[in-house]
Structure 1
Amino acid sequence: MNQKNKIVSLIIAFMVCISTFFRWYIFHIELKINLLLAVVSANVLVFTWIFFKKLYAYLDRTMPYDKGIFKRLSLQIIITLIFSNIISRIVYLIGTNFITFQDLINQQFTNLAQIAGIASEILLVILLNVAHFSYYSLEKWRENALRATHLEKEKSQVQFDNLKNQLNPHFLFNSLTSLDSLIHENPTLASEFLRQLAKVFRYVLQNKEKGLVSLETELNFIKNYVALLQTRFGESLSISFNISEEFLDLHIAPVTLQILIENALKHNTINQANPLTINILTHEDYLIIENPVQLKKQVETSNGQGLHNLKSLYSFLSEKEVLIEINEMFRVKIPLI
């Protein structure tokens, strides 16, 4: 039984209990007859709920509110009014023909009581239909909000995947250029360089479809990547790690570190006169990547969307957001999951 049916069952049970109590307290109806009326009431309420449920489901399919709220509500109210009138007449006939308190019913069934009863019935039907419309609208809003969230998440994932795929052309070109010079200068180092390059691309291929990887797995990959960068930049680039072991089992999106290191290399000057130092550390469930700000005068092939896409992706992966701080140091804080 779903949550909605449980709530309706509790409401029906409550209504039956209350009506049974009032029949005993106000009209002093004997127990046997009161229990019989309680059974009749329960069956009527259950049947009414089933009818309304089927009716609303049918109209939701054939005449949704989106195609005309007034037309749908008008038809719905008319049908429910007819149904409730028929049910009330049937219940009244049962009461007058089979229950032994005819005089009491006739006493209570005055013209004023009939008018009040009809008005109450109309009001109840209108409120019931308005309640259903409100519930229907709320569910549609939730569905649309959920769909929008999923679309935004898919968009962020696509953008992030494109970001990961940027590794291939630029990084491969620079790596092959470095490898070409090493083959003649130091064949042993060239062989080691090629093995590290293969490990880097194997990691990207194996994890490109994964949503998350452990920090330890990402660090093992990034150390191979850093080794390739050291071969390319030499002493002009220094990357240090200060990672607490307690965080190694936590998770991040794959190639997050590679993207952030590439971002630092893309935007900052790196040469012997201006060496670049990148620090990677952990603090309070955050992975922190920081480097001094020594910006290039001009950055090629940069649309400024890399960090934005990363922040957007992590907004779906974690309740904590990606934090970016810029002063003398450029610092990015990635929430560990």
Structure 2
Amino acid sequence: MGKKTCMSNPLASKTRIFIVVITFLIVCSSLMRWYVFDIPWQSNLFLAMISGTVMVISWVFFSKMHRYFDSFFPYEKGIIMRMIPQVLITFFFVLAVSHAVISRVMELFPFKSLIAQQYTDLARIAGYFAQFLVVVLINVLHLSDYLFHKWRENATRAIHLEKEKAQVQFDNLKNQLNPHFLFNSLTSLDSLIQENPDLARQFLQQLSKVFRYVLQHKDKGLVPLYTELDFIKNYVFLLQTRFDTFLTIDFQLSEESLEKKITPVTLQILIENALKHNVVSAAHPLLIRIFSDGRYLKVENNIQPKKQVETSNGQGLQNLKNLYKFLTDLPFETIVHNEKFVAYVPLIG
């Protein structure tokens, strides 16, 4: 089926980053207390809980501060100018919370000697430096997460814009059958009115069915292959009225492939492309074969190029390729093989 692009929840992503960072820091600090100070595991566990509490409080503060900064000074206005006050404010908040929590713990629990043992002047300086590094790390991780989501949003938006552009180009193609086709059809109809009124009436009915199909399906992205075939047989009737036996269109499709889907007027564009570039005459009859292999619908015609081709910007096939790129992982391809032009149309569904 068509490709889908989904965005993960940014809040869940930030939460995962926070949990990983906090868990890593708590484990490292616990191992250091155990290895350096030989603290009993019960006390070490309690101190780890205190560290975790400080970090959670700091994270909540940082999240609120980040949303506040986003409202008046987003990263787009200057990453450095945003990061400096953000890091400093977070760092001083962490220091204040740590001091308040440690003071309260020393009052309520007999950890004074233990804390005094850990918090020498060197350890205190090292602790401040470690806290500052943690604050910088969290801010950098937050910035990285923010930039990653912005990049993915922009990439998704670019994909949608490309798809919309391809759809608009193809819609323009669907909304106007080749003026040459209409002109030639009306010319044929004019000659039939006097020569064969019954055939002229049938020709007009088929012509109305062709344009009705385009009008009814111009806003649809996909149609079943059997629906497209009903339309194309009316279109082929008009062509064979004009070219007689010089044009042969052979259908060899499996029942399974008829349930698959393609974009509307795909076959009409491919048949028209074959007529536009190749001679159709008694000396050079044109054979167009339409068959399927389960994954692809193949439209094949023998190559007998015209000396002068009708004016064309060459965008018909390219628009089809661009559109199918967004509908399926299978590529829309055209090749020349054994003096035959073959278009591979992905069958969807």
Whether these two folds match at TM > 0.5 is: yes
2:307 aligned with 1:304: no
Which one-letter code corresponds to 1:330 in the other structure? F
Match of 1:7? 16
Q: 1:49 aligns with which of 59, 79, 87?
A: 59
C-alpha separation in 2, matches of 1:46 and 1:109: 22
Q: Give the aligned CA root-mean-square deviation in angstroms.
A: 2.4
Q: CA deviation at 1:115?
A: 0.9
Match of 1:86? 96
Match of 1:157? 167
Q: 2:274 aligns with which of 259, 264, 273?
A: 264
Which one-letter code corresponds to 1:233 in the other structure? F
After superposition, residues 194-233 of structure 1 pair within 5 angstroms as 194-233=204-243
Which one-letter code corresponds to 2:342 in the other structure? R
3-state SS of paired residue (1:258):
helix
Which one-letter code corresponds to 2:153 in the other structure? E
Q: 1:99 aligns with which of 91, 109, 123?
A: 109
C-alpha separation in 2, matches of 1:113 and 1:17: 17
Q: 2:40 aligns with which of 25, 28, 42?
A: 28
Q: Can you list the C-alpha shifts for 1:276-319, whole angstroms capped at 9, x where unaligned?
A: 11000102400000101111111122111211111111111111
Which one-letter code corresponds to 2:245 in the other structure? E
Q: Can you list the C-alpha shifts for 1:202-244, whole angstroms capped at 9, x where unaligned?
A: 1111111111111111111111111111111111111000111
Q: CA deviation at 1:99?
A: 1.6
Match of 1:324? 334
Match of 1:142? 152
Give the stretch that moved more between structures: 223-232 or 161-170. 161-170
Using a 3 Å threshold, how does the CA distance of structure 1 residues 42 and 121 change in structure 2: closer, same or farther? closer
3-state SS of paired residue (2:248):
strand
Q: CA deviation at 1:171?
A: 2.5
TM value normalised by structure 2: 0.88
C-alpha separation in 2, matches of 1:214 and 1:286: 14
3-state SS of paired residue (2:313):
coil
Q: Which runs of 4+ in 1 moved over 4 A?
A: 12-26, 37-43
Q: CA deviation at 1:18?
A: 4.3
Aligned residues: 335
Q: 1:74 aligns with which of 74, 84, 88?
A: 84
Q: 1:186 aligns with which of 179, 196, 200?
A: 196
Match of 1:119? 129
> Does the aligned pair in 2 maintain the 1:289–1:333 contact within 8 Å?
yes
Which one-letter code corresponds to 1:146 in the other structure? T
C-alpha separation in 2, matches of 1:107 and 1:38: 17
Q: CA deviation at 1:16?
A: 9.6
C-alpha separation in 1, matches of 2:294 and 2:305: 29
Gaps of 5+ in 1: none
C-alpha separation in 2, matches of 1:13 and 1:64: 26
Which one-letter code corresponds to 2:340 in the other structure? M
C-alpha separation in 2, matches of 1:43 and 1:179: 86
Q: Can you list the C-alpha shifts for 1:42-77, whole angstroms capped at 9, x where unaligned?
A: 543333222222222222332122211211111111
3-state SS of paired residue (2:174):
helix
Using a 3 Å threshold, how does the CA distance of structure 1 residues 14 and 66 change in structure 2: closer, same or farther? closer
> Does the aligned pair in 1 maintain the 2:22–2:55 contact within 8 Å?
no
Gaps of 5+ in 2: 1-8
Match of 2:249? 239
TM value normalised by structure 1: 0.91
Give the stretch that moved more between structures: 46-55 or 289-298. 46-55
3-state SS of paired residue (1:277):
strand
Using a 3 Å threshold, how does the CA distance of structure 1 residues 15 and 91 change in structure 2: closer, same or farther? farther
3-state SS of paired residue (1:167):
coil
3-state SS of paired residue (2:125):
helix
C-alpha separation in 2, matches of 1:124 and 1:34: 20
Match of 1:334? 345
> Does the aligned pair in 2 maintain the 1:153–1:313 contact within 8 Å?
yes
Q: CA deviation at 1:180?
A: 1.5
> Does the aligned pair in 2 maintain the 1:20–1:34 contact within 8 Å?
no
Match of 2:3? none
1 or 2 for the larger relative contact order (CA 8 Å, sep ≥6)?
Answer: 2
Q: Can you list the C-alpha shifts for 1:132-176, whole angstroms capped at 9, x where unaligned?
A: 221121111111111111111111111111222230633322222
> Does the aligned pair in 2 maintain the 1:200–1:225 contact within 8 Å?
yes
> Does the aligned pair in 1 maintain the 2:14–2:145 contact within 8 Å?
no
Give the stretch that moved more between structures: 191-200 or 232-241. 191-200
